[in-house]
A and B are shown apart, each in its own frame.
Chain A
Amino acid sequence: MAALLELDHVSYTYPMASAPVLRDISMQFEAGKVYAVIGASGAGKTTLLSLLSGLEVCTQGTISYNGTDLRSINRDHYRARSIGVIFQSYNLLLNATAVENVLLAMHLAGEHRTDKQAAYQVLESVGIDRPTADRKILKLSGGEQQRTGIARALAHNPDILLADEPTGNLDEANEAAILDLLTHLAREDGRCVILATHSHRAASCADEVLGLNRGRLLTVRQRE
């Protein structure tokens, strides 16, 4: 299967830092699979997701989306339409309601179906009912906020889902539900899901587990 995302000798060094946080990474990510990136805190998992989402630009090497270097495309456009990002700290608009967060993602993707009904449907698909959807983010529980973050990432039907510790703040029941949802999105809907996680349970759901150690990315396990 052709790679949706491809990293070719990618390195990244933070400004003012002497050593790179990611070193010479080459990797391909395919549609229909769940990838789990594991590693110790500070290993560079979030940085890797930032590069894949176009929030940062690698200092060496190239990252390609469908064969096109991310440097040569509009990264705002790429973030708004091609990928969905689920942040560890949710990063929702706190003064807005859950449904407004989803609507905004639809609007940025240029979706014409930016009516509330469609947004409610997306929220319902991740387990957020209408009364909850109409509440301000600050009034939602951690699990509800995480689900809203996932709904927002799915709102524009992206090819790739990037999730940074998507279950880090959830209890076991919610964690299981979210992981079921993500694996379903990959295997049934044919999306590419990339998780950065400390969770063994999350890693166990992945088709491929990648380990980050001293800036290098290695394949730890592949599902048969």
Chain B
Amino acid sequence: MYLIGNTMKNLVRNRGRYLLTGAVLTALLAAVAVSTMLHGTASRLIDTYTDRFGASVSFTTDLRKLITLTKPDENGQFQDPEITSEQYLAFSQSDAVKNTLFQGTRQVYCDTLQTLDQGNEEAFYEAGGWGGVFQGASETDAPQRQAPNAVVLGYSDPDMMEDFIAGHRQLDEGHFFSALGEVMVSRDLADRSGLQLGDCFTLQDVNHAEVPPLTLTVCGIYLDGTAAQADGQDWAVTNRRNELLTSFETLSQHSMAGLWLTASYYLKSPDLAPDFETYVREHGLSPVYNVSVDAEGYNRIVKPVQSLKSLSKAFLLVILLAGGLVLILLSMLGVRERKYEIGVLRAMGMPKVQVALGLLTESFAVLVLCLSIGLPLGNLAAQPAADAILAGQDAGNEKQIQSNYGDGVVLSTENNGEAETPMQHVDVLWTQGSIGLLAAVSLGLGLITNAAGIWYITRWEPMRILAERS
């Protein structure tokens, strides 16, 4: 109690000096608070981003290898080597892969559905379009092939359905598919075909007769605001209202035969790209393809935050060095001015430890007071500082992305929609890390500055201090 009471008295007695030190310390702690908050927030975001989007992998065609290693078709066109569905599935088994997003597609015919634009394709061929031969089928196959009246799409993650995330599609009735065999249909298709929740229909793959019929149950009906025919065709198979949305599991468990597959791979870390490449080569990926981490996308997303982190770190170091130096000087000057007082205390028999403890208690009280002012100040300043830094980074990034454009054909970049959105704003918040860092910095600053002053004063014997004073 005496120590605390005496500390308070000493603070009042030496208020001029402590006001100066306190002002510097408050500014310093506010700056430290800003930089630790930015640093902590950026670290957290980087962890989150790398965890979610960190290492998207692409297979891009190397044109030079394509020309060197393959032969053109009869039209003189070089075709990309096929990556089979089995290969796509095998690649996902690599230890380097954190998760894989699959999308399976089949062109189907269902005789119980009356789909939009149904019959247009048949009419086109009957009118002699493309020589009366279905695209992609041989002349001999053509007579057996039924024109598709719908497309069934299977997603391994519902978040892959970007139109729902973007708001172009919206569930109107029922629920998203979850169980095997569940399917969602558009309101237009449901109305046209008289479908209701719980109704079943059976699909037949029009391109692969060996695939057994697939029966699906309507679990949801969605409103569709997308363009029905985006590429100028008016066939049922190209009409987006006829898309039947189900899980990838439903399609793959039914049959992998003839399933048109795309896959997006996300590595546990960008550093694992070489391991992944070795794995996919072993599993038959053509040397025509380059395996590359989506550095552009990664940079677009993570780089602004990394810059924020780097800047905050540099800022913190500068602040600590400059501020620490100022504080040490102030502390030594302060203690020097109190030499006489300390000499008197020592001459009266106050042990060095008690003198040091008294000085430390005073400094600690000042530190607490400065923290209580500096932290809210830092809290206020952190958000505008982060926004300003990110705004600068965003402009720089745009330039860099433009200069990087056109590096190759990306075969597999089915990212979540949000992964393509660059970071323009972060909510700067206190994190456990930043609080810990700030506490450590505060204590460190307090200790370092006081240690210098205390060391300076306690190495003198009391008579020497008093003699110097005289």
Contact = CB atoms under 8 A, between A and B. Distances in A.
A59 interface: no
Contact of A100 (B9, B340, B341, B470): B9
Contact of B351 (A50, A76, A96, A109): A76
Given A50-B463, A56-B461, A93 B341 contact: yes
A93 B351 CA distance: 17
Contacts of A107: 2
A224 B464 CA distance: 39
Contact of B349 (A50, A79, A93): A79
Interface string B1-43: 0100010010001100000000000000000000000000000
A92 B14 CA distance: 16
A89 B470 contact: yes
A78 interface: yes
B69 interface: no
The DSSP consensus for interface residues of chain B is: helix
A100 B461 CA distance: 24
Interface string B53-78: 00000000000000000000000000
Interface in A87-105: 87, 89, 91-96, 100, 104-105
B328 interface: no
A93 B344 contact: yes
A220 interface: no
Contacts of B344: 91-93
B9 A55 contact: no
Contacts of A53: 347
B343 interface: yes
B344 to A, nearest CB: 5
A79 B351 CA distance: 10
Given A95-B14, A107-B2, A55 B347 contact: yes
A108 interface: yes
Nearest to B14: A95
A91 to B, nearest CB: 5
A55 B13 contact: no
B348 A105 contact: yes
A33 interface: no
A136 B346 CA distance: 21
Contact of A91 (B6, B347, B350): B347
Classify chain B: how many residues form its interface, as a range: 20 to 34
A80 B461 contact: no
A79 B346 CA distance: 9
A78 B349 contact: yes
B347 A85 contact: yes
Contact of A79 (B13, B347, B466): B347
Contacts of B324: none
Contacts of B343: 91
Nearest to A136: B13
B323 interface: no
Nearest to A153: B348
A170 B350 CA distance: 29
B462 interface: yes
A96 B9 contact: yes
Contacts of B352: 76
A214 interface: no
A81 interface: yes
Interface in B314-365: 340-341, 343-352
A108 B14 contact: no
Given A79-B348, A108-B349, A55 B462 contact: yes
A77 interface: yes
A89 B349 CA distance: 18
Nearest to A75: B349
A14 B340 CA distance: 21
Interface string A125-146: 0000000000000000000000
B350 A76 contact: yes
A56 B350 contact: no
A80 B350 contact: yes
A80 B13 contact: no
B300 to A, nearest CB: 62
A91 B470 CA distance: 10
Given A95-B14, A107-B2, A55 B461 contact: yes
A95 B348 CA distance: 16
A80 B348 contact: yes
Contacts of A81: 349
A76 B356 CA distance: 14
B10 to A, nearest CB: 8
Interface of A: 50, 53, 55-56, 76-81, 85, 87, 89, 91-96, 100, 104-105, 107-109, 114, 152
9 contacts: A53-B347, A56-B461, A76-B346, A76-B350, A79-B348, A80-B349, A95-B14, A104-B348, A107-B2
Given A77-B349, A79-B348, A79-B349, 4 more contacts: A55-B347, A55-B463, A87-B466, A152-B348
What 3 pairs between A and B have smallest CB-CB spacing? A80-B349, A79-B349, A95-B13
